[in-house]
Amino acid sequence: MTYRETAMTKKKKKAAKKVKNRALVAEKNEEAMVEGILEGSPDGIGVVIVRLECGCKKMAAVARDGEPASKLIMYRDQAESICDKCKKDNGDFMRVTEAFIHWSKPEPSDQEKEAINAKVLGTMPVIH
């Protein structure tokens, strides 16, 4: 491998890592939603955030045992309602681009997180 190739590989790896970190953290406008959901869900230890390719989102609080701790909320930023596609298919998981859990503080142990992640997101495609 030439020096040039090595440098390029390094650059690529760095870029990929950046995307991953950004993808799995709640955005500012999502955080407000997350706070609201957690406030109304005493059993919630985190909120599942599901982003759809159309721009709509699904959120629901999750309890320590991995069961839903609130009803599922679907919304679209800066819009009064979700898009027509979602109205039809209810945000089909085939159109999910990212799904992850935003943990409330204090966060559960890594072991607990893993178990809940597997239970909640196990059947959904997740971008890593």
Residues that bind Zn ion (CB under 5 A): 54, 56, 83, 85-86
We find the least distance from the C-beta atom of residue 94 to Zn ion, in angstroms, to be 13
Closest approach of Zn ion to the CB of residue 28, in Å: 20
Rounded-to-integer distance, Cα 38 and Cα 33, Å: 9
| Cα–Cα distance measured from residue 70 to residue 72, given in angstroms and rounded to the nearest whole number | 6
Q: How far is the CB of 51 from Zn ion (least distance, A)?
A: 10
Nearer to Zn ion by Cβ, of 64 and 85: the residue is 85
If the CB atoms of residues 45 and 60 are measured against Zn ion, the closer one turns out to be 60
Residue bearing tokens 């991995």: 66
Judge whether 47 and 61 are in contact, CB under 8 Å. yes
Residue closer to Zn ion, measured from CB, 45 or 99: 99
Q: Which is nearer to Zn ion, 55 or 108 (CB)?
A: 55
C-alpha distances (whole Å) from 32 to each of 37, 71, 97 are 9, 17, 21
Residue nearest Zn ion, CB atom distance: 56
Task: List, as own/partner pairs, every contact residues 109-115 make where C-beta atoms lie below 8 angstroms and the sequence separation is at least 24, other chains included.
Answer: 112/64, 115/66
Residue 85 CB, nearest distance to Zn ion (Å)?
A: 5
